[in-house]
């Protein structure tokens, strides 16, 4: 058996939070039933600093309660002293902290980086809306991304290459997709085999577009209605767009930091998202070319994750035109894989986001009260040719007066049981495929500050 060593760690380091101010902690080892002159006396002292920290601040400085716990080993029988040179307040940008362990005549150091991005303090809450979409259906999204989404209660949209699902592959299995769906994530189509669609014959297009929708439905995915173009290729080819339109309600394809729901992009002469212009040519911005922001390109061009977090904060705060009753702009962020890394240093894993960065971004959205909606919450108005997000669908009572206290949308034909009162600064929007019918002898009362909005194509019927 040899020597049985029972080592008491007088101050147990693991699980003890280290605070930002400088401090000293005693750490000693006592060896019982073994010779003092054993190897421990000569074992090298080693310290591993805690993981890097990536976060944000709305002011110029941030105090950080917990820097994490260093791991110290070796040092022999002497008392080990641990200290760090962290400031009490961290400035924006990167601060390198040196952690030092000393024991007898030995000394070891390691560094930890704290990265703090700058965030605007006051953003109109109407503008805090974002869509997060992950392309291709990589298994790492489930293994490494989902625990982070769950931690912050965030729901994503997953665009799946259905021909790659399952098997011994780096892609998610049907079971994983069904778990994501059951937990409120949006599962949508990204073809069967991820080809360049503009290269395909009409038969091949049918297989990639119609086939992938059927394939997802066979797995048990409901409500497959959104399509994502591989390589952003084909959205400007009429034959491809025509086939996409046979199977889906709308599609994402181009790259831009901000999606305009009426396709009235700055510098564009378009005022809606019609597929074709007056001459029968495809418009630049249409129902099948929703733009998303390529997060992975950002990671490749930036030197570290702090810069990417800073850019992310800028993109998700990019909407400025939304109101409590109408959303006009949504930043849509496009990701691919996730890889484990808790260091701020640049890591060149292509088409992949590190866990430290993904965690910091999801934390930012959660703490700043962003609404993350699934792609399929978008509705396309076929009469007016634009997208809208029915934030709240009106609830109609079974009997009695219909009192509206919160802005809401009517999406289909509804019959009020009696009179209707719209109050509390609320706006009822009847969308293009909707109508409200008020029974004979009843009426609508709209209190000051409130309103009723009829979108072209809708109707209001007050029976006499
Ligand atoms: Zn893809």
d(CA 51, CA 249): 44
Residues 6+ apart with CB under 8 A from 40: 29, 31, 74, 76, 77
Cα(124) to ligand 1 centroid in Å equals 33
Q: Do the domains at 6-118 and 125-387 have one common CATH topology?
A: no
Cα(148) to ligand 1 centroid in Å equals 22
H/E run at residue 297: helix 295-301
Cα(54) to ligand 1 centroid in Å equals 28
Cα(224) to ligand 1 centroid in Å equals 17
Cα(335) to ligand 1 centroid in Å equals 10
Cα(64) to ligand 1 centroid in Å equals 38
Q: What is the DSSP string of 76-107?
A: TTSPEEEEE---SSEESEEEEEEEEEEETTEE
d(CA 394, CA 392): 6
What local confidence, expressed as pLDDT, does residue 336 receive?
Answer: 97
Cα(178) to ligand 1 centroid in Å equals 20
Mean pLDDT by 10 residues, the chain (464 residues): 34 39 41 43 86 96 94 85 95 97 92 97 90 97 98 97 90 97 96 97 97 98 96 96 97 95 94 94 95 92 92 97 89 97 86 97 97 92 88 89 91 94 91 90 92 88 92
Cα(287) to ligand 1 centroid in Å equals 19
Cα(411) to ligand 1 centroid in Å equals 33
- 333: closest CA among 308, 302, 307? 308
Going from N- to C-terminal start, the domains of the chain cover: 6-118, 125-387, 390-462
What local confidence, expressed as pLDDT, does residue 230 receive?
Answer: 97
Cα(157) to ligand 1 centroid in Å equals 13
Phi, psi of 291 (to 5 degrees): -85, 150
What local confidence, expressed as pLDDT, does residue 40 receive?
Answer: 52
Cα(313) to ligand 1 centroid in Å equals 24
What local confidence, expressed as pLDDT, does residue 464 receive?
Answer: 87
d(CA 257, CA 255): 7
- 94: closest CA among 110, 120, 112, 113? 113
Cα(294) to ligand 1 centroid in Å equals 11
Cα(451) to ligand 1 centroid in Å equals 43
Cα(141) to ligand 1 centroid in Å equals 14
Pick the CATH number of 6-118 from 3.30.420, 2.60.120, 1.10.10, 2.60.40: 2.60.40
Alpha-helical regions (H) of 75-224: 139-140, 146-152, 174-182, 202-219
Cα(190) to ligand 1 centroid in Å equals 7
Question: Could you name the CATH architecture of 125-387?
Answer: Alpha-Beta Barrel (3.20)
């Amino acid at each position: 058996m040899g020597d049985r060593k029972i080592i008491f760690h007088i101050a147990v380091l693991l699980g003890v939070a280290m605070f930002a101010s400088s401090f000293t902690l005693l750490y000693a080892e006592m060896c019982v039933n073994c010779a003092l002159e054993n190897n421990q006396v000569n074992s090298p002292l080693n310290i591993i600093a805690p993981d890097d920290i990536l976060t944000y601040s709305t002011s110029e400085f941030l105090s950080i309660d917990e820097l994490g716990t260093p791991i110290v080993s070796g040092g022999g029988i002497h008392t080990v002293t641990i200290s760090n040179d962290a400031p009490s307040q961290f400035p924006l940008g990167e601060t390198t902290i040196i952690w030092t362990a000393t024991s007898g005549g030995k000394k070891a150091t390691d560094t930890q980086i704290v990265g703090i991005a700058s965030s605007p303090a006051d953003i109109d809450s109407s503008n805090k809306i974002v869509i997060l979409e992950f392309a291709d259906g990589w298994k790492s999204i489930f293994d490494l991304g989902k625990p982070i989404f769950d931690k912050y209660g965030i729901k994503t949209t997953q665009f799946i290459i259905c021909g790659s699902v399952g098997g011994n592959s780096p892609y998610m299995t049907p079971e994983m997709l069904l778990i994501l769906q059951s937990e409120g994530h949006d599962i949508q189509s990204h073809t069967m085999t991820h080809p360049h669609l503009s290269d395909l014959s009409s038969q091949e297009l049918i297989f990639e577009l119609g086939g992938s929708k059927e394939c997802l439905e066979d797995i048990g995915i409901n409500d497959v209605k959104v399509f994502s173009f591989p390589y952003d290729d084909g959205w400007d080819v009429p034959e491809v767009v025509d086939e996409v339109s046979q199977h889906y309600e709308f599609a994402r394809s181009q790259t831009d930091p901000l999606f305009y729901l009426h396709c009235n992009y700055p510098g564009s002469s378009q005022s809606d998202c019609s597929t074709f212009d007056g001459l029968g040519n495809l418009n630049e911005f249409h129902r099948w070319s929703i733009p998303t922001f390529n997060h992975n390109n950002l990671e490749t061009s930036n030197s570290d994750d702090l810069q990417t977090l800073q850019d992310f904060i800028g993109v998700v705060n990019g909407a400025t035109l939304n109101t409590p009753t109408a959303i006009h702009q949504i930043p849509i962020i496009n990701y691919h894989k996730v890889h484990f890394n808790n260091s701020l240093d640049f890591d060149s894993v292509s088409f992949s986001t590190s866990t430290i960065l993904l965690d910091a971004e999801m934390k930012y959205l959660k703490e700043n009260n962003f609404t993350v909606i699934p792609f399929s919450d978008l509705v396309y108005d076929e009469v007016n040719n634009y997208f809208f997000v029915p934030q709240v669908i009106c609830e109609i009572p079974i009997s009695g007066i219909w009192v509206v206290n919160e802005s809401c949308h009517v999406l289909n034909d509804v019959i009020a049981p009696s009179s209707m009162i719209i109050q509390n600064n609320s706006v009822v929007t009847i969308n293009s495929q909707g109508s409200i019918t008020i029974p004979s002898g009843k009426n609508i009362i709209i209190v000051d500050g409130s309103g009723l909005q009829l979108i072209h194509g809708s109707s209001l019927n007050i029976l006499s």
